[in-house]
């Protein structure tokens, strides 16, 4: 990998959520990545960032830029997902009313990430955390 960016995202931080995704987008624009790929990474990154703010105890977004692919990793320190298959089902969400009123919690975050990434891996352990690794061909 020739380039790496790391962003911390705190739980409940809705006012600055989106900041990491914006910085990632700008970086990719400066690197001359195609608009099509930037859109995919932006959508997946923003969904990941919002998931950290809504559901996690806090976490990180890591962007690695390689010659042939971009790797976006979203990892947190808990609480973990009990049933990943259910969490991946469009429309299923554990988000509360307050978050839903803001237009989040539609149960589309993880499916949106998977749909936009060329490769999507998710692993999770209750009490430990969740890690999502997405790869995008450039």
Partner 1 sequence: MKVSGLLENKEFKCLNPQVGIEGVIKSGYVGDLLSWVMANAGNGCAWVTIQTHVNIIAVATLLEMTCVIIPEGAEVEESTLERAIIEDIPILTTGLNAYEVCKILGNAGI
* Interface ranges with partner 1 (CB under 8 A): 14-15, 17-19, 21-22, 25, 35, 39, 42-43, 46-47, 50, 102-104, 106, 108-109, 112, 115
Residue with tokens 């099509």: 36
Shortest CB 43 distance to partner 1, Å: 5
Tokens for 70, please give them.
Answer: 């971009």
What phi, psi does 107 have (nearest 5°)? Answer: 75, 25
Q: Which is nearer to partner 1, 37 or 108 (CB)?
A: 108
Shortest spacing between CB 5 and partner 1, in angstroms: 16
Task: Concatenate the DSSP letters of all residues of 14-52 into one string.
Answer: TTTTTHHHHHHHHHHHHTT--HHHHHHHHHHHHHHHHHH
| Nearer to partner 1 among residue 25 and residue 77 (C-beta) | 25
Question: Which of 42/56 has CB closer to partner 1?
Answer: 42
Pairing of strands 119-125, 59-65: unpaired
Local structure of residue 127 (DSSP, 8 states): T
Provide the minimum distance between the beta carbon of 45 and partner 1 in the complex, in angstroms, as a whole number.
8
Q: What angle do CA 54, 86, 50 make, to 5 degrees?
A: 20
When the beta carbons of 104 and 120 are compared against partner 1, the nearer one is 104
CB of 135 to partner 1, least distance (A): 19
């Amino acid at each position: 990998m020739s380039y790496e960016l790391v962003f911390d995202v705190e739980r409940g931080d809705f006012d600055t959520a989106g900041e990491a995704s914006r910085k990632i987008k700008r970086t990719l624009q400066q690197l001359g990545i195609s608009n099509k790929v930037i859109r995919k990474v932006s959508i997946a990154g923003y969904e990941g960032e919002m998931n950290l703010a809504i559901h996690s105890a806090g976490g990180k977004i890591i962007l690695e830029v390689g010659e042939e692919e971009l790797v976006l990793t979203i990892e947190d320190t808990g609480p973990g997902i009990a049933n990943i298959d259910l969490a991946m089902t469009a429309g299923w969400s554990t988000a509360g009313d307050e978050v839903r009123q803001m237009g989040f919690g539609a149960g589309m975050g993880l499916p949106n990430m998977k749909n936009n990434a060329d490769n999507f891996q998710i692993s999770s352990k209750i009490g430990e955390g969740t890690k999502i690794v997405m790869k995008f061909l450039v």
